[in-house]
A and B are shown apart, each in its own frame.
Chain A
Amino acid sequence: MNIFPIIRFVIRGESMAPYFPNGKRVLVNRLSYFFRKPKRGDVVIVRDPRDKRRELLKRIVAVSSEKVGETVLRKDEYFIRGDNESSSTDSRVFGPVTKNLIVGKATFPPEADQPQAGTP
């Protein structure tokens, strides 16, 4: 059980590259949406609605009451997508996510916390 409000994550996959590339670390504040609602453009950690043990990194592209295609998002619903649409599994596959599945907003930690990779 993690008692810290800030959670450390390492990214696996390329759907959020180049801003959030594979292997990069991010920090997520679990209290980031305690006093305010998620906004369009926020990059968030979301529990996968198909398997809640898995956590995904995606960008919010539409918020409650906005229209996505023919559908209007209901209260507390968010449409999330990967920045690289061709290599991302997101709301286009599993539909909008509800606010209770959003863990928090992702930000970058200081560079010192990034894994050091060798350059071939």
Chain B
Amino acid sequence: MNIINKIWPVRTAYAHCDVPCGIYTPEPAKTAAETVAKMVEKIQALPDDQTEATRNSFVRMVTTKEEHAQLCKKELLILWTDYFKPEHLEMFSDLHDTFWKAAKLCSKNKQEVNADAAKELQDAVANIADMFAKAEASKK
């Protein structure tokens, strides 16, 4: 494969925006975490039957939980890697650990239907939103 890459290299095609908008907010992650919790609640409240309607609702709710847990992870990673800068480590020495654990919770919520894990994710995102607010306040 290396030989092919040498004689027939892969070039980069840029398909992006040159202007980083610089607009960051923890709100999408909060909404996504809230949606995950709501889906867990609704899945657990489904009637214990095998009707077509119940099965259809179950699949839709699991799909929504999956999508929003992934969205939550994506939004957290944007804040972690793009918004927070090395200087923020002085304010929040546990910044990396906080984000890492929150991202892991997103995965856990994809794997399980677990009200405790959903609450933990909401709390983790609320904590990050609080860090974000403090970081914003320090700019002023």
- Complex Cα distance A2/B73, Å? 40
Q: Give which listed residue, B9, B16, B19, contacts A13 with CB less than 8 A.
A: B16
From residue B87, how far is it (CB to closest CB) to chain A in Å? 27
Known: A12-B14, A120-B73. 6 other contacts (CB 8 A): A14-B16, A15-B16, A20-B15, A82-B17, A89-B19, A120-B107
Q: Say whether, besides A120-B73, A120-B107, A13 and B11 are in contact (CB < 8 Å).
A: no
The answer to whether A11 and B73 touch across the interface, beta carbons within 8 angstroms, is no
Measured CB to CB, the nearest residue on chain A to B18 is A89
A-B contact count (CB 8 A): 68
| Residues on B facing A (Cβ under 8 Å) | 8-19, 73, 107
The answer to whether B13 and A106 touch across the interface, beta carbons within 8 angstroms, is yes
Q: Say whether, besides A120-B73, A120-B107, A12 and B12 are in contact (CB < 8 Å).
A: yes
Tell me, yes or no, whether A117 is within 8 Å of chain B by CB.
Answer: no
Please give the number of chain A residues whose Cβ is less than 8 angstroms from any Cβ of chain B in the complex.
32
Best-buried of B9, B10, B14, B19 by chain A (most CB within 10 Å):
B14
- Complex Cα distance A106/B11, Å? 13
- Complex Cα distance A2/B11, Å? 11
- Complex Cα distance A26/B15, Å? 12
- Complex Cα distance A17/B16, Å? 10
The answer to whether A58 and B10 touch across the interface, beta carbons within 8 angstroms, is no
The answer to whether B8 and A15 touch across the interface, beta carbons within 8 angstroms, is no
- Complex Cα distance A55/B49, Å? 57
Tell me, yes or no, whether A10 is within 8 Å of chain B by CB.
Answer: yes
From residue B112, how far is it (CB to closest CB) to chain A in Å? 15
Measured CB to CB, the nearest residue on chain A to B21 is A87
- Name the B residues within 8 Å of A120 (CB-CB): 73, 107
Best-buried of B11, B19, B107 by chain A (most CB within 10 Å):
B11
The answer to whether B13 and A89 touch across the interface, beta carbons within 8 angstroms, is no
- Complex Cα distance A56/B13, Å? 5
- Name the A residues within 8 Å of B8 (CB-CB): 2, 4, 8
Tell me, yes or no, whether A66 is within 8 Å of chain B by CB.
Answer: no
The answer to whether A45 and B107 touch across the interface, beta carbons within 8 angstroms, is no
- Name the A residues within 8 Å of B14 (CB-CB): 12-13, 48, 54-57
Tell me, yes or no, whether A29 is within 8 Å of chain B by CB.
Answer: no
